[in-house]
Amino acid sequence: MIRAKQISNLSSSARSFFLGGTRSSAADGNSCTSAEDDSCLLRRHQTRHEAAHTGNRVFTRPSPPPLHVSPPVLPVKPDPANHKIPLPDGTEVSRVDHTLPITSVKASGREHLGEVYTTSASKDPSERAPRNASPGTKQASNDVSHDLTKTTVSGKRKCGYYPSGEMMRVTPAPRHVIEKVSSILRRFKWGLAAEEALHSSGFKMDAYQANQVLKQIDNYANALGFFYWLKTQPGFKHDEHTYTTMVGNLGRAKQFGEIKNLLNEMVRDGCKPNTVTYNRLIHSYGRANYLKEAVNVFTQMQEAGCEPDRVTYCTLIDIHAKAGFLDVAMDMYHRMQVAGLSPDTFTYSVIINCLGKAGHLPSAHRLFCEMVGQGCTPSLVTFNIMIALHAKARNYQSALKLYREMKAAGFRPDKVTYSIVMEVLGQCGFLEEAEGVFTEMERESWVPDEHVYGLLVDLWGKAGDVEKAWRWYQAMLHAGVRPNVPTCNSLLSTLLRGHRLSEAYNLLQSMVALGLQSSLQTYTLLLSCCTEARSNFDLGFCGQLMAVSGHPAHMFLLKIPPAGSDNGQKVRDHVSSFLDYMHSEDRESKRGLIDAVVNFLHKSGLKEEAGSVWEVAAVKNVYPDALREKSCSYWLINLHVMSEGTAVTALSRTLAWFRKQMLVSGECPSRIDIVTGWGRRSRVTGSSMVRQAVEELLNVFNFPFFTENGNSGCFVGCGEPLKNWLSESYVERMHLL
């Protein structure tokens, strides 16, 4: 059992989630702003009242949404496309010109791209969801990356043809047959009742009709039962299309054992897997974070004589980029070019997103301009990606400039675009103007969904206005929009930061009532709150909240064995098993949890256990950028994304690893840079809590460090002094101090 004690100091892990929140941007699932921005949000918002009387106002402040009613109709909508942004001192931010302008891009050149991006780039208002849209009404996706992947996993573009050899069927299918059978499968769980209902319907289906039905089934068990039931029907025979669709259904449910059985049966039935089949299998493994298996499928399809297409390469690029393996992603891009597959709009969008996520925004922008120069017209999805990447890099002026250029080129914003612009304005401190964009979106007949409402909950929560965040949450419920887990996490973060624990408890209970399962981020928030508990009562209450969440991470934490005479092996085995269980979770979520766990253990006095948890996380690539060899014998230890307890633990164990390697090989690093940055919550160099904790540790153990070029956030050790220091025996046990 974990031995917990009261922690009086606010942990950086707690601040990471309380101040930074856990919202995801429209582009990539992560916040499109830097954590350093959060500390000045409230200050900027407050100083806006002074600026209102000193400068020319461009935006009109709307009224806040009332409690328990739908969001208000705000009087004036701001237009970031045509106006400057006022600053708190009354001045205005002018437009910033890129070195490579893109104003020559016109939406009229999109005809040949409409097949791929029909929904996002359409200029036809009838394709947008009306205000009172029915459940089946088409709406734009809230996730740019998801849009890209959706095109990939389907194996076909939206124009309705089958790429890579999948033939288009010309025989029309009676819609009433497909709808009737689909209705039966939605009404029943697979079993005798479902079979009897299908028999009673009297319908006979061919493979094409069966394929259309399989595409409409969300429950993989129903789909699989129906698939095998069809095999028992006289005269029916599955073809490569029904097998491929079934592979996709099982892949979404991560039923890889069933997929292997199905593929074996497919071959026995004389149906050869085609490129679309392999593409869906690659995507299924990729979305579950089984990258090696995805690459193995890529190899197998080539050995089987099945040529990869653009979708194949784009899928591999996308899944590796999301997992942080930029080098593999770019290698796939080059292999695609060598294979003679020239990039199209979709491919460019994937690569731009890949580069931007890896922090190479200049390269992403150059590729965007190259795309335009090659005559490949960007789509609305491409613009959304670029705007989101600039926003994530805190280039807010550039993001708004791209938004203006996009509109000037004839593209009409969708919900993704509006969401990004709202977040940019919110992070600049213009929260009322962000609400104005919400009104503009409604005026343009876009129906706000859970992401849009959740964004406003998050922005007001980060600004410290609990009441406004709560009002937008209530407005969301009143509008009949079911909250998602990220929205609840945003509100939970706000309540915990405001020390409103009883309301946080009620929110967790309401999540259970709504059928929402707590995520890793939910539990990380609660664990961080426990770390900074002010009293034993708060500590106990936080423990209750963690138990109410029902997340498997709670049992993992409770059952961490104590470090014994086995040098922490039991702890490492326990952590390794849990991370294997959480394999399909995204890397950022796992990193946040491990950061909170190590910080909690370190500050609770369980430093041996904290060190063992860190070692396993390092082996599992949870922190891929924590240690990097810049050149021969020149190493970089990157701690700036960690809490102070985690940073001290990581540094201690990494230096101990260097000592061990030196004793084995006799070779010592020529230089080690220890980067603490400005800290997760500090905008002033030298005030970072991570930096202070690291400097204190290095001073205690007389590490021969120095700083250079005025960078007080980077400690440097090199040469003979470093070698002599690593030879000291106490380096092995630094983390126990």
Q: Give the model confidence (pLDDT) of 638-668 as tens digits.
A: 998 899 899 999 999 999 999 999 989 888 9
Q: 3-class SS at 62?
A: coil
pLDDT at 468: 93
pLDDT band at 483 (very low <50, low <70, confident <90, very high): very high
Please spell the DSSP secondary structure of 594-633, one letter per residue.
Answer: HHHHHHHHHHTT-HHHHHHHHHHHHHTTSSTTSEEEEETT
Its pTM stands at 0.59
pLDDT band at 123 (very low <50, low <70, confident <90, very high): very low
pLDDT at 363: 87
Backbone angles phi and psi of 195, in degrees to 5: -65, -45
pLDDT at 285: 92
For the stretch 304-354, pLDDT in tens is 999 999 999 989 988 888 787 888 888 998 999 899 988 888 888 888 888
Q: Which residue has the tokens 């059978």?
A: 181
**Cα separations (Å) of 615 from 577, 626, 653, 657?**
14, 12, 7, 10
For the stretch 96-107, pLDDT in tens is 334 444 444 544
Residue 250 has pLDDT above 90, yes or no: yes
Averaged pLDDT of the chain: 77
Q: Which residues neighbour 115 within 8 Å (Cβ) at sequence distance 6 or greater? A: 157, 158, 159
Angle at CA 438, nearest 5°, toward 41 and 87? 35
- For residues 202-206, give the mean pLDDT: 84
- 161 versus 229: the higher-pLDDT residue is 229
C-alpha span between 648 and 258 (Å, rounded): 45
- For residues 273-281, give the mean pLDDT: 93
Residue 199 has pLDDT above 90, yes or no: no
pLDDT band at 80 (very low <50, low <70, confident <90, very high): very low
Give percent above pLDDT 70 in the chain.
75
pLDDT at 230: 92
- For residues 205-232, give the mean pLDDT: 90
pLDDT band at 174 (very low <50, low <70, confident <90, very high): low
Residue 598 has pLDDT above 50, yes or no: yes
- 366 versus 681: the higher-pLDDT residue is 366
Judge: domain 627-736, CATH 3.30.1370.110.
yes
pLDDT at 470: 93
Q: Which sign does the torsion angle of CA 71, 77, 81, 87 carry?
A: negative
In terms of average pLDDT, the best of 339-343, 584-588, 591-595 is 591-595
- For residues 185-211, give the mean pLDDT: 88
